[in-house]
């Protein structure tokens, strides 16, 4: 990990009575470097937090928003839980995947976008919704979704 | 994004005003009057007051808030911790997000009142990782409070009243909304709920005495302190006073949030959302988020409060009202529901780990027209060991909706068996 | 002490214990009070996730897990009413739906807790039509353990063991829900001095030892109580035998010595019994009969006595207390003074492994023997047990009469060599480093003539006319 990342992680330790409390924020910081956390970074995190690499990997594998494999440059996730499905989210997702040529979810061949479904994003009143990287796009229809996705570089 | 509910009350009155998200704007609308009243009382008095108010937790369990606060040890040589549960992930529930984005100071003021009452020195606001905007709003509010010395040491000039707040982001796991699952996640581990004993008030975050409360629960507290217990109890029902932000979604004309007194009849709540879309017929309503049993159209008069809903075999949960019209195939609903629980099970307890997967596979099989009578029998049996027999209530929450769907919509399932396909061509696609 | 009632019978239990612990403290768990369980283990932290130990406790509306419910005076517990049996059956059924039907090829068969509890409390028939979750089969998890991921019931005993006992923490559970998998960090191994204990504690055949793999079915084995002889800890063991062969050692619980564990080195030491044995008596390197060797040894003793020359006795910390006692008595009669002995030493740890790499140095000391690795010095005859005192030390000694179980540089040097029985071939006792005298029983018979040291010395004494 970059020295700046390491320094930032170390500055978080004092916020928690036990340094391990800073592990989730630390993983986000490391993940921001390459878009995923590889084995080497996992070992570095383990050393920094004085735990075994397998314990770090347990955490990485448990949470949806942590990735241990390379990702597309952008994440596009459409919620397909019940309220969104009731308003056509699954049809929209299928259409979007078709538009990107990635059926059943996955990453576009040019590495631009990883598309998939997510569970409830807390946007049920403005369904369908998709999360693009850190932003929500709500009250979607397929046209709007396509336009948003086409603008991602 | 939603900026304010369609129907407002005391909690969300000013959510539409951007200035309300600044300290000055919040104070201009009466903010921190509650905290000032609280610190003029002895800490135990504040807890008593909250107890008397009858405020129930708004995170889904409805536990008496004042009673929970009273579990914290009175004196302690160990730091006491408040954890605010902002992990709102219950499908159908989107109220906490609005409160965090548009009324962050309400939460912080409520938290500080709790800190005074319980003698807690630090708080962690655990917000689900996907809620980037809410995290930003809270962090900004926290920073302002530190600048204006309403956080840190000697708050409001009171010697010894010190409090620190850390906003902490989750990383995408529904089970981290469970009280002890959240604590595990806060500690940097997998969010797998803990067995009890020990209880969080004795051994909570990082082993310290801890109270966990929901975002909305804290948001009500400043109003109770500012305007009084009688005022609070004049809204809502006797056992469930106050208002809540009902989230209505699905097949309605105007999905969104509606701040209404607890006890408002379900029919009225749906009415505020414009009724069933396109004038269609209602088929079923989930009144309290995905975990709570579905209600048939004959039960629309039920007052939306826990004490009434439980008599109808369901629960208030987080007041996430999901409306389904006549086009909907309830077997598809069961498949969506069971997939969610299969995906989100933490995997510790045998019955939950294996049961949620089995239930989903059965629903899929039936939905695809490959089901048998035996499968229907299994769908009734498999959830039984999931009820009341696991470390946390997730398995119960996974069992209930399936049981509710079978109870009220068995014919949908049987139609799939006999016709060997979905007999609802207009239903949402899976 | 609180009193609790279980299925109508009252028990006085220790304070401050969980129900399952208390029943175990009384020695009744699965031995009068049957509460089946997987994730709980008496020597590991409480987990609470298998849910099998649920019991009904009067006054508590939900069933409670016995492993995490503190005892309270007056508690009334039911372990076999319909409600508890239904809950148990529910757990067993759900554990079996993804479990592969491997019994015919699984080493655990016959000592498998899934088989046992399914048979006793499970469902009579499988109701699932769903394909079972595929996972890793028969992979080497490290140098000692074979891992079958499909069989794992996720009790997490192994994870807790590695974190809490050797504190190496190699194992973890990845993902969540029904995708949960027991794993090591990719590229790393389960490799610690206590690794094979995970095979003991794994209730099923997910973790088994490579050493025991496919060797024999456990129902052909006979278990004999013994004590490990590789260091002064004296871990209690069971030697599993069939057809006069030892197939494995397995630790035996002793809360005062080794709890429920033993180290891998000690566990594998059963192999030593068949390797490098002194299999025939020898005089000056020639194989002779036992009687002839005894006769020659007696001649050397008689000659040295008659010449009033020096006899030295060198004992072994591998000999039993009875052997050492007989040796001391004989040396006294020979006027040879007290015996000396040496102890091989090595690394110790803060778990079980001790620095003294022999089981009975304490026994030697208790009999007044002197520890020394110095040269023996001038002597005409040395009576030697074992080869922990090495050959170089005997530089100035005339004749060596050696009673030993295993070959060494010393047995090449000795004038007379007599085969001795190992601790697996006789009954006896060792005294461990804490002064605990621990008995062991004979497990196998050597397939050549061999006697205990005590019996051999008695024969020599008799032949030399020493009473």
Q: What is the CATH number of the domain that holds C85?
A: 3.10.20.740
Does residue B76 sit within a domain? yes
Q: How far apart are the first and last CA of chain A?
A: 25
Interface-testing mutation among A18, A83, A88, A126, with chain B (most B C-beta atoms within 10 A): A83
Q: What is the CATH number of the domain that holds B285?
A: 3.10.20.600
Does residue B11 sit within a domain? no
Neighbours of chain C (3+ CB pairs under 8 A): A, B
Say whether both B200 and B215 belong to one domain. Answer: yes
Q: What is the pLDDT of residue A104?
A: 87
Does residue C367 sit within a domain? yes
Residue B421 sits at the chain C interface (C-beta within 8 Å): no
| Contact: C185, A54; criterion CB under 8 Å | yes
Which residues from B are below 8 Å from A119, CB to CB? Answer: 89, 91, 174, 340, 343-344
Nearest to B345 among C65, C128, C178 (CB): C178
With a pLDDT cut of 70, the percent of chain B lying above it is 100
Euclidean distance between CA atoms C154 and C49, whole angstroms: 9
- In A, minimum Cα distance to C182 occurs at A58
Please answer whether residues C18 and C46 qualify as being in contact, where contact means their C-beta atoms are separated by less than 8 angstroms.
Answer: yes
Euclidean distance between CA atoms C140 and C189, whole angstroms: 9
Say whether both B320 and B334 belong to one domain. Answer: no
| Number of domain units in chain B | 3
Sign of the Cα pseudo-torsion (C453, C457, C458, C460, in order): positive
Domain's final residue, options C39, C68, C94 = C94
Q: Which of residues 85-124 of C touch B (CB under 8 A)?
A: 86-87, 90-91, 93-95, 97-98
Q: How far apart are the first and last CA of chain B?
A: 26
Sign of the Cα pseudo-torsion (C276, C277, C279, C284, in order): positive
Say whether both B127 and B195 belong to one domain. Answer: yes
Residue B256 confidence (pLDDT) above 80: yes
| Contact: A54, C169; criterion CB under 8 Å | yes
Q: What is the CATH number of the domain that holds B114?
A: 3.40.50.11540
Say whether both B72 and B176 belong to one domain. Answer: yes
Say whether both B200 and B70 belong to one domain. Answer: yes
Residue C177 sits at the chain B interface (C-beta within 8 Å): yes
**What is the rounded average pLDDT of the residues B375-382?**
96
Neighbours of chain A (3+ CB pairs under 8 A): B, C
| Contact: A57, C187; criterion CB under 8 Å | no
Residue B355 sits at the chain C interface (C-beta within 8 Å): yes
Say whether both B156 and B198 belong to one domain. Answer: yes
Interface-testing mutation among C53, C86, C94, with chain B (most B C-beta atoms within 10 A): C94
Q: What is the CATH number of the domain that holds B353?
A: 1.20.1440.230
Does residue C315 sit within a domain? yes
Does residue C41 sit within a domain? yes
Quick one: DSSP state of residue B6? S
Say whether both B46 and B166 belong to one domain. Answer: yes
Q: Which of A149, A119, A129 is nearest to A88 (CA)?
A: A129
User: Chain A: nearest CA to C160, how far in angstroms?
Assistant: 12
What residues of A are in the C interface, CB distance below 8 Å? 39, 42, 51-55, 57-58, 61-62
Interface-testing mutation among A45, A49, A61, A119, with chain C (most C C-beta atoms within 10 A): A61
Q: How many CA atoms lie within 13 A of C169 on its CB side?
A: 13
| Number of domain units in chain C | 2
Say whether both B280 and B172 belong to one domain. Answer: no
Euclidean distance between CA atoms C109 and C217, whole angstroms: 8
| Contact: C95, B354; criterion CB under 8 Å | yes
Q: Which residue shows structure tokens 């499905």? A: A85
Does residue B85 sit within a domain? yes
ipTM > 0.95 (yes/no): yes
Which residues from B are below 8 Å from A87, CB to CB? Answer: 250-251, 255, 428
Q: Is omega for the bond preceding B197 within 30 degrees of 0, making it cis? A: yes
Q: In terms of C-beta density within 10 A (0-12 exposed, 13-18 middle, 19 or more buried), how is residue C119 classed?
A: exposed
**Encoded tokens for B179:** 């009280």
Neighbours of chain B (3+ CB pairs under 8 A): A, C
Q: What is the model's pTM? A: 0.96
| Contact: C178, B346; criterion CB under 8 Å | no
Nearest to B344 among A91, A119, A125 (CB): A119
Q: What is the pLDDT of residue A108?
A: 96
Q: What pLDDT, in 10s, does the model give residues A79-104?
A: 999 999 999 999 999 999 999 999 88
Structural domains for chain A:
3-62 (1.10.10), 74-150 (3.40.30.10)
Q: What pLDDT, in 10s, does the model give residues C162-171?
A: 999 999 999 9
**What is the rounded average pLDDT of the residues B195-217?**
97
- In A, minimum Cα distance to B253 occurs at A125
Distances (CA, A) of A99 to A78, A135, B374, C412: 14, 21, 41, 84
Q: Which of C193, C192, C194, C247 is nearest to C218 (CA)?
A: C247
Please answer whether residues C353 and C263 qualify as being in contact, where contact means their C-beta atoms are separated by less than 8 angstroms.
Answer: yes
| Contact: C188, A53; criterion CB under 8 Å | yes
Q: Which residues span the domain enclosing B321?
A: 243-325
Confidence tier at B27 by pLDDT (50, 70, 90): very high
Does residue C207 sit within a domain? no
Does residue B179 sit within a domain? yes
Sign of the Cα pseudo-torsion (B199, B205, B206, B209, in order): negative
Does residue B236 sit within a domain? no
Euclidean distance between CA atoms B338 and B332, whole angstroms: 10
3-state helix, strand, coil in chain B (%, to 5): 45, 15, 40
Q: What is the CATH number of the domain that holds C314?
A: 3.40.50.740
Radius of gyration of chain C measured on its C-alpha atoms? 27
Which residues from C are below 8 Å from B193, CB to CB? Answer: none
| Contact: B355, C154; criterion CB under 8 Å | no
**What is the rounded average pLDDT of the residues B180-184?**
98
DSSP of B288-306, one letter per residue?
Answer: SSTTSPPB-GGGTT-BSSH
Q: Which residues span the domain enclosing C404?
A: 282-432+446-463
Q: What pLDDT, in 10s, does the model give residues C346-359?
A: 999 999 999 999 99
User: Chain C: nearest CA to B356, how far in angstroms?
Assistant: 8
Q: What is the pLDDT of residue A89?
A: 97
Nearest to A21 among B173, B187, B256 (CB): B187
Does residue C138 sit within a domain? no
Q: What is the pLDDT of residue A105?
A: 85
Q: Which of C150, C249, C257, C262 is nearest to C198 (CA)?
A: C262
| Contact: C185, A62; criterion CB under 8 Å | no
Please answer whether residues C225 and C441 qualify as being in contact, where contact means their C-beta atoms are separated by less than 8 angstroms.
Answer: yes
Which residues from C are below 8 Å from A53, CB to CB? Answer: 185, 188
Does residue C24 sit within a domain? yes
Confidence tier at B173 by pLDDT (50, 70, 90): very high
Residue A32 confidence (pLDDT) above 90: yes
With a pLDDT cut of 90, the percent of chain C lying above it is 100
Does residue C230 sit within a domain? no
Q: What pLDDT, in 10s, does the model give residues B123-136?
A: 999 999 999 999 99
Say whether both B59 and B192 belong to one domain. Answer: yes
Domain's final residue, options C94, C127, C155 = C94
| Contact: C172, A39; criterion CB under 8 Å | no
Q: What pLDDT, in 10s, does the model give residues B139-163?
A: 999 999 999 999 999 999 999 999 9
Q: What is the pLDDT of residue B76?
A: 80
Does residue C73 sit within a domain? yes
Q: How far apart are the first and last CA of chain C?
A: 58
- In B, minimum Cα distance to A25 occurs at B169
Q: What is the pLDDT of residue B75?
A: 85
Which H helix or E strand runs over B123? strand B122-127
- In A, minimum Cα distance to C178 occurs at A62
Euclidean distance between CA atoms B83 and A16, whole angstroms: 13
Number of residues in chain B: 430
| Contact: B251, A86; criterion CB under 8 Å | yes
Q: Over chain C (467 residues), what is each successive 10-residue block's mean pLDDT?
A: 97 96 97 98 98 98 98 98 98 97 97 97 93 96 98 98 98 98 97 98 98 98 98 98 98 98 98 97 98 98 96 98 98 96 98 98 98 94 96 94 97 97 98 98 97 97 93
Say whether both B339 and B277 belong to one domain. Answer: no
Say whether both B64 and B111 belong to one domain. Answer: yes
Which residues from A are below 8 Å from B343, CB to CB? Answer: 119
Residue B173 sits at the chain C interface (C-beta within 8 Å): yes
Domain's final residue, options C59, C94, C129 = C94
Say whether both B298 and B367 belong to one domain. Answer: no
């Amino acid at each position: 990990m970059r020295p700046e990342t390491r320094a930032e992680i170390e500055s978080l330790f004092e916020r928690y009575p036990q340094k391990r409390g800073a592990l989730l924020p630390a993983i986000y910081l490391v993940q921001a470097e390459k878009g995923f956390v590889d084995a080497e970074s996992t070992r570095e995190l383990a050393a920094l937090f004085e735990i075994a690499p397998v314990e770090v990997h347990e955490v990485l594998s448990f949470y949806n928003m942590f990735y241990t494999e390379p990702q597309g440059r952008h994440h596009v996730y459409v919620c397909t839980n019940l309220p969104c499905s009731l308003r056509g989210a699954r049809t929209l997702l299928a259409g979007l995947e078709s538009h990107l040529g990635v059926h059943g979810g996955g990453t576009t061949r040019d590495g631009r976008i990883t598309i998939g479904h997510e569970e409830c994003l807390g946007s049920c009143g403005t369904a369908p919704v998709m999360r693009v990287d850190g932003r929500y796009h709500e009250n979607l229809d397929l046209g709007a979704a396509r336009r948003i996705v086409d603008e991602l570089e | 994004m939603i900026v304010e509910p369609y129907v407002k009350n005391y909690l969300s009155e000013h959510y539409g005003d951007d200035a309300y998200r600044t300290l000055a704007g919040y104070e201009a609308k009466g903010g921190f009057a509650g905290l000032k009243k609280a610190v003029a009382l002895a800490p135990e008095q504040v807890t008593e007051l909250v107890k008397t108010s009858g405020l129930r937790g708004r995170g889904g369990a409805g536990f008496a808030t004042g009673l929970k606060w009273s579990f914290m040890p009175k004196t302690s040589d160990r730091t006491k911790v408040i954890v605010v549960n902002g992990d709102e992930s219950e499908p159908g529930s989107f109220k906490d997000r609005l409160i965090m984005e548009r009324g962050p100071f309400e939460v912080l003021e409520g938290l500080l009142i709790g800190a005074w009452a319980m003698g807690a020195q630090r708080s962690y606001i655990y917000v689900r990782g996907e809620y980037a905007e809410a995290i930003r709003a809270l962090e900004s509010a926290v920073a302002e409070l530190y600048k204006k010395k309403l956080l840190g040491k000697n708050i409001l000039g009171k010697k010894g009243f010190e409090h620190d707040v850390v906003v902490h982001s989750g990383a995408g796991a529904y089970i981290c909304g469970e009280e002890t699952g959240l604590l595990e996640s806060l500690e940097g581990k997998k969010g797998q709920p803990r067995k009890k004993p020990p209880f969080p008030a004795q051994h909570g975050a990082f082993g310290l005495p801890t109270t966990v409360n929901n975002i909305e629960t804290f948001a009500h507290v400043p109003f109770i302190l500012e305007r009084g217990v009688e005022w609070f109890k004049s809204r809502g029902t006797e056992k469930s006073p106050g208002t809540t932000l009902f989230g209505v979604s699905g097949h309605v004309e105007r999905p969104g949030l509606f701040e209404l007194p607890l006890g408002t009849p379900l029919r009225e709540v749906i009415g505020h959302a414009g009724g069933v879309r396109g004038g269609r017929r209602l088929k079923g309503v989930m009144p309290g988020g995905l975990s709570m049993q579905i209600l048939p159209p004959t039960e629309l008069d039920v007052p939306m409060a826990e004490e009434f809903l439980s008599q109808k075999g369901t629960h208030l949960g987080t007041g996430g009202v999901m409306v389904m019209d006549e086009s909907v195939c309830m077997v598809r609903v069961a498949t969506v529901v069971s997939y969610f629980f299969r995906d989100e099970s933490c995997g510790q307890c045998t019955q939950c780990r294996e049961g949620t997967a089995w239930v989903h596979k059965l629903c899929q099989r039936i939905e695809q027209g490959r089901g048998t009578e035996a499968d229907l029998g299994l769908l009734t049996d498999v959830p039984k060991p999931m009820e009341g027999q696991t470390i946390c209530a997730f398995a119960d929450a996974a069992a209930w909706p399936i049981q509710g769907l079978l109870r009220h919509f068995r014919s949908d399932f049987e139609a799939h068996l006999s016709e060997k396909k979905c007999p609802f061509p207009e239903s949402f696609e899976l | 002490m609180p009193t609790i009632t279980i299925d109508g019978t009252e028990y006085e239990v220790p304070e401050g214990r969980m129900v399952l612990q208390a029943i175990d403290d009384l020695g009744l768990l699965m031995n009068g009070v049957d509460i089946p369980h997987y994730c709980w283990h008496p020597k590991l932290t409480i987990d609470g996730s298998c849910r099998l130990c649920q019991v009904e406790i009067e006054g508590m509306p939900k069933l409670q897990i016995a492993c995490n419910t503190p005892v309270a005076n007056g508690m009334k517990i039911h372990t076999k009413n319909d409600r508890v049996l239904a809950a148990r059956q529910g757990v067993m059924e759900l554990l079996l739906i993804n479990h592969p039907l491997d019994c015919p090829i699984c080493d655990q068969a016959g000592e498998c807790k899934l088989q046992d509890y399914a048979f006793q409390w499970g469902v009579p028939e499988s109701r699932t039509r769903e394909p079972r979750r595929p996972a890793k089969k028969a992979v080497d998890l490290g140098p000692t353990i074979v891992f079958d991921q499909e069989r794992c019931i996720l009790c997490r005993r192994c994870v807790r063991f590695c974190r809490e006992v050797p504190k190496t923490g190699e194992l973890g559970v990845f993902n969540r829900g029904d995708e949960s998998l027991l794993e090591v960090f990719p590229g790393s191994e389960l490799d610690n001095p206590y690794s094979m204990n995970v095979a003991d504690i794994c209730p099923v055949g997910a973790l088994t030892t490579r050493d025991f793999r496919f060797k024999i079915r456990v129902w052909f084995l006979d278990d004999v109580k013994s004590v490990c002889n590789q260091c002064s800890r004296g871990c209690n063991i069971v030697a599993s035998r069939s057809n006069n062969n030892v197939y494995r050692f397995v630790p035996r619980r002793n809360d005062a010595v080794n709890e429920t564990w033993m180290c891998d080195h000690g566990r594998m030491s059963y192999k030593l019994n068949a390797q490098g044995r002194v299999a025939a008596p020898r005089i000056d390197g020639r194989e002779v009969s036992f009687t002839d060797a005894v006769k020659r040894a007696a001649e050397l003793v008689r000659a040295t006595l008659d010449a009033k020359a020096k006899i030295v006795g060198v004992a072994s910390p591998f000999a039993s207390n009875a052997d050492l006692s007989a040796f001391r008595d004989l040396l006294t009669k020979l006027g040879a003074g007290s015996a000396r002995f040496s102890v091989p030493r090595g690394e110790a740890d803060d778990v079980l492994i001790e620095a003294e790499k022999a089981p009975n140095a304490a026994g030697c000391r208790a009999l007044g023997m002197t520890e020394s690795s110095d040269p023996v010095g001038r002597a005409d005859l040395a009576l030697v047990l074992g080869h922990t005192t090495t050959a170089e030390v005997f530089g100035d000694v005339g004749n060596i009469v050696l009673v030993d179980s295993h070959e060494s540089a010393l047995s090449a040097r000795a004038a007379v060599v007599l085969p001795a029985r190992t601790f697996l071939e006789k009954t006896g006792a060792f005294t461990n480093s804490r002064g605990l005298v621990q008995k062991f029983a004979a497990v196998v018979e050597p397939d050549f003539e061999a006697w205990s040291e005590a019996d051999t010395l008695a024969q020599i004494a008799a032949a030399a006319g020493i009473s």
